[in-house]
Chain A
Amino acid sequence: MKYGILVDTTKCTSCEECVMACADVHNIDRQKSLREKAKNEEGLSAYRMSNIVAVSPGHFARKSCMHCLEPSCVSACLVGGITKSPEGPVVYDPTKCIGCRYCMIACPFHIPRYEWDKKIPYMAKCDMCFDRLNEGKMPACVEACPNHALKFGNRDELLKEAHDAIESQPNLYLNHIWGEKEFGGTSVIYISDVKLDKLGWPATSPVSIPSLTEPLVHTTPIIGASVAAGLLAINWTIRRRMKLASENNIEKQKESGEEGGNNE
């Protein structure tokens, strides 16, 4: 859980240099990436993995994978095709994917997108430029941002920096760091001068989603075994009762037939 990105929405001017850099790094045609913006409100698609969203008039923020510390998609994927790497990024492995699209249901931020126009489609989402990180470079969007609205670094240091920024300019920033606690914390954190509801942050509920489901999943073998045991027990009791009942009947018949019979 080392790395993270700090997004300062007060510095974002919506130039979309980060989006274009993202397209270049992931070998997506820039024109195609531009075209995807109009397709839905959030402007994200398999060919546009990050987007600038107008969170309120005149205020912009980068929307992309938040790289949760306890990601819902990682817990949901049935083949384990999505993993939270120790460096911080949540990484997708297309060789495992079967295309069930459960990650798209599970993500609270609507981040995973699907290549609907392809015959052999895969999921696509921001991977915090995992390959570049391994080469010792920064994520492409951070490098491209001309106004330093995106900052890459150690998540703990970024958090400290965010707290410092809010303390030093309490009139500018709202006293909240989005991603510090929400859904168990995210690697991408936001500070802002307006509310960021449009990015999908919850109003309340800082609980991580895997903490809702994983304890339940882990009880299933116990439930299954106990159901089977319970069924056998019920069946055994009923059988025994029936047997006893029929034995009693025989006994009575015997008793009526030959007096003082010796039975077990």
Chain B
Amino acid sequence: MNERLRIIKDILWIFALAGLIAAIFRLLFGLGATTNLSDGVPWGLWKVFNMIAGVALSTSGFTVGLLVYVLRLKQFKPYVKPAILIAFLGYGCSCMALLFDIGLPHKFWHPIFMWNINSFLFEVFWCVMLYFTVTSIELAPTIFDGLKAKKLSKLFHSVAFVAVIVGISLSSLHHSSLGSLFLVSPQRLHPLWYTPRLPLLFIISAMSGGILFLVFIKIIWAKFYNPGPVFGSSARPLTTDIKVLNGTVCSISTRRLPGPEMKTISRLAIIGVSLLSVYLILKIVDLVILGKIGLLATGSAESILYIAELAIGALLPIVLIFNKKTNKMPIPVAIAGGAAAFGLVLNRLNAGIFGYLSDAGVVYFPSLLEWALGIGVIAAAGLVFLALTEYLPIFYDKPAKLSIIHLFRGSFHSLRQTWNIVLSDGLHRITLLSVAILPIAFVLLYPAFRATKSISVMPSTGLDAQRSILKIDGNRDGYLTIFDHADHQRRMGDSASCIGCHHLALPGDHSTPCSQCHRSMYSSASIFDHEKHKVFIAGDKKYAGLVPANQSCNECHLADKPKSAEFSKKCMDCHSDDMFLTGRSEIQFSTMNAVSFTDAMHTTCMECHKKEAAKPGNENIDKCYTCHQSMNKSQGTQAQELVNK
């Protein structure tokens, strides 16, 4: 087993284990707690990326079957087994991710017995379930051959043709129906992707993308296991030194000739790309027919995604494969295959997630756990793929034989060495484990991007038109205070009592809400608009001149003192007639800051409540739950009664 392959396997193992952890977390804490899904974006990474895109990439199982068994193109026979394996694993890992995506995984079997024949999702469920069975039947002979169970293998061989026909018709149904899923939201899906021809576009793109993905996998697999037939023999020297007549040495590089298998691979790629060009044309014609082609030029995020999807997923492969120079070379063909697969996935993400974001008005980025499970399932499928291709005759008639001893076991030599020799002490081991595990656990539990922001305050609302009972809930978190304003006013002595609590109204105003100045929930906020004052004062005719603003400073600031808030006029010096300092004269507006909303509310109410608590019969009036009704259950019901009134 070569070194690079081992590293790749180790990485796959890490991802798969992370996926396993994520799966456990998902089951322990529930769907909402572990994902960033919301009511605006109910379908996220697992459903759209793993399920819809994953299934689309696995179409090679039926397209190659179509080419070989129905159209009788015998030259593609060696690709049947890998294609079926890809289909089996693709569908397997899609179903696995879906199992964790649905809210009630223990009820996944419901659609088998509870039918709604009007639903596209119902049809997709049945087709995917049946097709997964079909791919298992198609894969069975290969597995049983490997296990030397000849009779079973023959049994499954005999039904192979029927399985292929059933598989193709099932595929033609559900790949188009996956597109039809989005037909239900003509108002919500972005117009670039919503078209009545979604089913047709989905099946053609899936067929072409699936074939090109198979090409991509084939070349990558060959790169690691058996480069000869694809990349050409590496024994041939890459450069040749030629002695020219006068004695100097010229080095001429000779191009390595691609291997014999490139011929079929490029034919397969050409079939895929032909379908892809049909898809590209259909897609553009569809835009023109619906009159939406202009949307591409708007420069919105959607139009960029749409262009990216077509440029990477369709134009690039078409250019690379239809070019006679590049379509015989393994690396450009692999790039074309990878690009087509990427474009296909992007298309599905666009139609399933990005196309809905502008309507939903929310941003969706998958949580760490969503990524972990989504990628982990694919990594696990990749490991199974590598193991089976190593152990069974999938790509060639004979198994690769390279690492039968290792199978798909990742070999953590370096780690094992460290563990056994350096960390032989128990305490060392525990330290190492906690160093590795604690941060991971912390990150998984507290995603950093859920940090809090400064909370702005919203004015209190009245429960009735007269605002006699107020709902004070500055940050609108629902933990509100029901404040009986009319009752307080009556007890304190009607209109004369306003000044007992209220202190200031802005210029030209009589009832400024508290939240106007105390506009941050927990921190103080600057309320003095220096620029506005400067412009206003400098506008006075007295300061006519080149730079009146410079001369106007002394109007408020003391001439021989630093120009700071400390040495300037107080608000009430100028605003004594238009701003109403209605009471609480102890508050001098020496600072330009308004304290936080919580502080303002607390100081206003608590001083008086503390005094009142000294009186007999009022013992509890200075307790927190007097106002914060939600802190006390018996008080909470009182608050509800108030609301009921």
| A44 in complex: contacting residue of B39, B107, B116, CB < 8 Å | B39
In the bound complex, residues from chain A placing their C-beta under 8 Å from that of B168 are 227-228, 231
Residues of A within 8 A of B166 (CB): 228
The answer to whether the Cβ of A205 comes within 8 Å of any Cβ in the partner chain is yes
Tell whether, in the assembled complex, residue B116 and residue A78 are in contact, meaning their CB atoms are under 8 Å apart: yes
- Assess whether A30 is in contact with B640, with CB atoms less than 8 Å apart: yes
Given contacts A209-B184, A220-B123, A224-B173, contact A13 B465 (CB under 8 A): yes
A99 and B102 in contact (CB under 8 A), knowing A121-B30, A213-B184? Answer: yes
Min CB gap B478→A, angstroms? 2
Does any Cβ of B come within 8 Å of A34's Cβ? yes
Per the bound structure, the CA–CA distance linking A218 and B177 in Å amounts to 12
Say which one of A101-109, A132-140, A152-160, A187-195 lies at the interface with B.
A101-109
User: Are A72 and B172 within 8 A (Cβ)?
Assistant: no
Chain A residues with Cβ under 8 A from B71's Cβ?
234, 238
For A205, the chain B residues whose CB sits under 8 A away are 186-187
A40-B39, A114-B32 known; A231 and B70 CB under 8 Å?
Answer: yes
A108 and B111 contact, CB distance less than 8 A:
no
Contact of B224 with A by CB under 8 A: no
Q: Could you say which residues of chain B place their CB within 8 Å of the CB of A74?
A: 118
Question: Is A25 in the interface zone, CB < 8 Å from B?
Answer: no
A232 contacts B185, CB within 8 Å? Answer: no
**How far, in whole Å, are A114 and B30 apart by their CA atoms in the complex?**
12
Given A30-B640, A224-B169, A238-B71, is A98 in contact with B30 using a C-beta cutoff of 8 Å? no
Q: Is B477 an interface residue (CB 8 A)?
A: yes
A81 to B115, CA, bound (A): 9
Q: Are A117 and B103 in contact (CB under 8 A)?
A: no
Contact A79 B110 (CB under 8 A): yes
What's the Cα separation between A239 and B172 when bound, in Å?
23
Q: A20-B643, A104-B39 are in contact. Are A96 and B29 (CB under 8 A)?
A: no
State how many angstroms separate the Cβ of A25 from the closest Cβ of chain B: 14
- Indicate if A131 sits at the interface (CB-CB under 8 A): no
B535 to chain A, nearest CB (A): 30
Minimal beta-carbon separation of A39 from chain B (angstroms): 9
Q: How far is the CA of A210 from the CA of B180 in the complex (A)?
A: 12
B72 close to A (CB within 8 Å): yes
Q: How many Å lie between the Cα of A32 and that of B55 in the bound state?
A: 40
CA distance A37 to B476 in the complex (A): 8
Question: Nearest chain-A residue to B477 (Cβ)?
Answer: A35
Is B108 engaged at the interface, CB distance under 8 Å to the other chain? yes
Cα–Cα, bound, A239→B72 (Å): 8
B348 to chain A, nearest CB (A): 14
Contacts A31-B636, A78-B111 given; indicate if A38 touches B183 (C-beta within 8 A). no
A98–B103 Cα distance when bound, in Å, is 6
Q: Does A65 contact B (CB under 8 A)?
A: no
Contacts of A121 in B (CB 8 A): 30-32, 103-104
- Size bracket, chain B contacts: 35 or more
Nearest-neighbour CB distance to chain B for A89, whole angstroms, equals: 18
Contact A78 B122 (CB under 8 A): yes
A218 to B643, CA, bound (A): 52
For the complex, give the distance between the alpha carbons of A216 and B173 in Å: 11
Q: Which residues of B contact A238 (CB under 8 A)?
A: 70-72
Among B38, B108, B120, B199, contact of A98 (Cβ-Cβ < 8 Å): B108
Residues of B within 8 A of A32 (CB): 478
CA distance A108 to B360 in the complex (A): 11
Any A CB within 8 A of the CB of B409: no
> What per-residue 1/0 map shows which CB atoms of A102-129 lie under 8 Å from chain B?
1011101010011111111110000000
User: Once the chains are docked, how many angstroms separate the CA of A114 from the CA of B168?
Assistant: 36
Is A242 at the interface (CB under 8 A from chain B)?
yes
A105 touches B32 (CB 8 A): no
A118 to B43, CA, bound (A): 17
Q: CB within 8 A of B169: which of A102, A202, A214, A225?
A: A225
Assess whether B177 is in contact with A220, with CB atoms less than 8 Å apart. yes
Q: Which residues of A contact B72 (CB under 8 A)?
A: 235, 238-239, 242
Q: In the complex, A120→B166 CA distance in Å?
A: 37
A170 interface residue per 8 A CB criterion: no
Q: Given contacts A119-B30, A120-B104, could you give 13 more A-B pairs where the C-beta distance is less than 8 Å?
A: A34-B473, A35-B477, A40-B38, A78-B116, A78-B121, A79-B111, A98-B104, A101-B42, A115-B32, A122-B104, A210-B118, A227-B172, A235-B165
Interface of B toward A, CB cutoff 8 Å: 29-33, 37-40, 42-43, 66, 69-72, 102-104, 107-108, 110-111, 114-123, 125, 165-166, 168-170, 172-173, 177, 180-188, 196, 199, 356, 360-362, 463-465, 473, 475-480, 630, 636, 640, 643
Closest 8 pairs between A and B when the two form their complex, measured CB to CB: A99-B103, A35-B478, A116-B32, A38-B476, A119-B30, A80-B116, A78-B122, A104-B42
12 contacts between A and B (CB under 8 A): A30-B640, A36-B478, A79-B110, A79-B114, A97-B103, A100-B103, A110-B39, A110-B360, A212-B186, A213-B180, A216-B120, A235-B69
- Interface on A for B, CB 8 Å cutoff? 13, 15, 20, 30-32, 34-38, 40-41, 44-45, 72, 74-81, 96-102, 104-106, 108, 110, 113-122, 200, 202, 205, 209-210, 212-214, 216-218, 220, 223-225, 227-228, 231-232, 234-235, 238-239, 242
